[in-house]
Amino acid sequence: MEEFLRYMVRQLVENPDEVLLTHREENDKIIFRLSLRNCDVGRLIGKGGNTINAIRELLNAAGERRGQKVILELSEPGGSWKN
């Protein structure tokens, strides 16, 4: 799931080499934290949030197969996390 997310994000952003993806697992949850440059956050969110919502739906579908909930958080380097 992590490699799939990394691949998708790198295809969508302008600065793929600066994408930082980390994750942690808590009970039945996987929380992915994605740190992007400011100019790439908007690209990943997409118009009206459509792109980020589609990515989250794909992650949730993959998580359901494993019996896990998946959460994706976004941040700019040094910025605050956005759910």
Structural domain count, the chain: 1
81 within a domain of the structure (yes/no):
no
83 within a domain of the structure (yes/no):
no
Task: Kindly indicate the confidence band of residue 78, based on its pLDDT and cuts at 50, 70 and 90.
Answer: low
Strands (E) located in 1-83? 20-26, 29-35, 69-75
Is the pLDDT assigned to residue 82 strictly greater than 60? Answer: no
58 within a domain of the structure (yes/no):
yes
82 within a domain of the structure (yes/no):
no
pLDDT of residue 77: 61
pLDDT tens digits, one per residue of 23-50: 999 989 999 999 999 889 999 999 999 9
Distance of CA 49 to the CA centre of its chain: 13
pLDDT tens digits, one per residue of 44-64: 999 999 999 999 999 999 999
Of all residues in the chain, what percent carry a pLDDT higher than 90? 78
CATH number at residue 31: 3.30.300.20
